Structure 1
Amino acid sequence: MTTYAALLRGINVGGSRKLPMADLRTLMTGLGYDGVRTHLQSGQAVFTTGHGDEDSLAAELGRAVEERFGFSVDVIVRDHAYLKAVADACPFPAAELAPKQLHVTYFSAPVTPERFAEIDPAAHLPEEFRLGDRCLYLYAPEGLGRSKLAEALSRPRLTKGLIATSRNWNTVLKLVEMTVD
């Protein structure tokens, strides 16, 4: 049995694509997942299962949400080892920063620097980003809502063919904690 976190993209944001967490837990339990727990209302669920891999579990959950709630949702599933490695590899001094200043965008597949080559890092200082293992770390001193770099990084042509979903540093750490076996 492996403990995973499911990251659902774009639910319960701005009054659209409503998915109550209690309903999500019920749905996931019905799929045969054990120990289902959710974190906040923005689409994080932790569960344990002995079947499937990250990609097949993400696809299964995405299909189930669409069948039950009538809208499609992108899902990324990652295990504890991956989530912990992402937190441990943070290239920014996370302990010295306010959680609203640091974000991780998780990707469904590896990304290369070439994908983001059109972004001029100097034009966005003091904001910065670094790539990691199927993720991108973003330092935004004024927070994500005011970040011009975050806006530039989320252009559709830069994320074409990928599922991408961002979480603030508090959520990154909470998911590591919640997925410990």
Structure 2
Amino acid sequence: MTGYVVLLRGVNVGGVNIKMADLAACVRGLGYDGVRTVLASGNVVLESEESATTVKERLESALRERFGYDAWVHVLDDGELARIIDGYPFERGRDGWHDYVVVAAHDDTRAELEAVIPSLDPELERAELAHGVLYWTVQKGSTLDSVMGKAQSRARYKPWLTSRNVNTLDKLRR
């Protein structure tokens, strides 16, 4: 069995509201083991003998059918999650700052976000691409208005990326 973390994109923000008990029931209904949800932002931990790609495809289909929205998920195995958390390149927990990991499904999306990095004001935000994700730290209160925040909000990225606070990822680690 492989342990996986599933990150749902855009849940309980922007009009897509799913109760975590209903989400867990949907995932269990697919036959996955060790299912638990973490926080109300669409995070699921599960175990499966299936590949990450198969888990992704099955969950997206089930979520679309059960909850009636355009569901996109990102699936990380436990080892990948650990490498991502342990690789966070910035000082964590600085007063007045948020620490994020941006998970993007495609290399070209990550490359486009990486191209934004030279334009960042390091007094307001910093970012680095590594371990297949974009690490980002930004002053509290400016997440959505920051240069990287605006870059991530492009409509064409909607199906391809999601972000999580590193503290949330810690809660998903087994």
> What TM bracket, shorter-length normalisation?
0.7 to 0.9
Task: Tell me whether 1:19 sits opposite 2:18 in the alignment.
Answer: yes
Of the candidates 54, 68, 71, which is equivalent to residue 70 of structure 1? Answer: 68
Of the candidates 83, 98, 102, which is equivalent to residue 105 of structure 1? Answer: 102
Q: Which has the higher helix share?
A: 1
TM-score for both structures, normalised by structure 2: 0.87
Using the TM superposition, give the Cα deviation of residue 85 of structure 1 relative to its aligned residue in structure 2, in angstroms.
Answer: 0.2
Q: Secondary structure at the match of 2:139?
A: coil
The alignment covers a number of residue pairs equal to 173
Structure 1, unmatched stretches of 5+, are none
The aligned residue for residue 2 of structure 1 is 2
Structure 2, unmatched stretches of 5+, are none
Deviates more, 1:147-156 or 1:73-82: 147-156
The aligned residue for residue 153 of structure 1 is 151
The aligned residue for residue 41 of structure 1 is 40
Q: Structure 1 pair 144/65, CA: closer, same or farther in 2 (3 Å)?
A: farther
Deviations 1:74-101 (A, max 9, x none): 100111100000111111122x525952
TM-score for both structures, normalised by structure 1: 0.84
Q: For the aligned residues, what is the CA RMSD?
A: 2.5
The aligned residue for residue 137 of structure 2 is 139
Deviations 1:119-177 (A, max 9, x none): 263543321100012210111022563551232331538848x611000121021112x
1:8 and 1:113 mapped to 2: Cα distance?
18
Please tell me the residue identity of whatever aligns with 2:44. Answer: A
The aligned residue for residue 168 of structure 1 is 165
Q: Which runs of 4+ in 1 moved over 6 A?
A: none
Identity level (%): 33
Using the TM superposition, give the Cα deviation of residue 8 of structure 1 relative to its aligned residue in structure 2, in angstroms.
Answer: 0.2
Deviates more, 1:21-30 or 1:118-127: 118-127
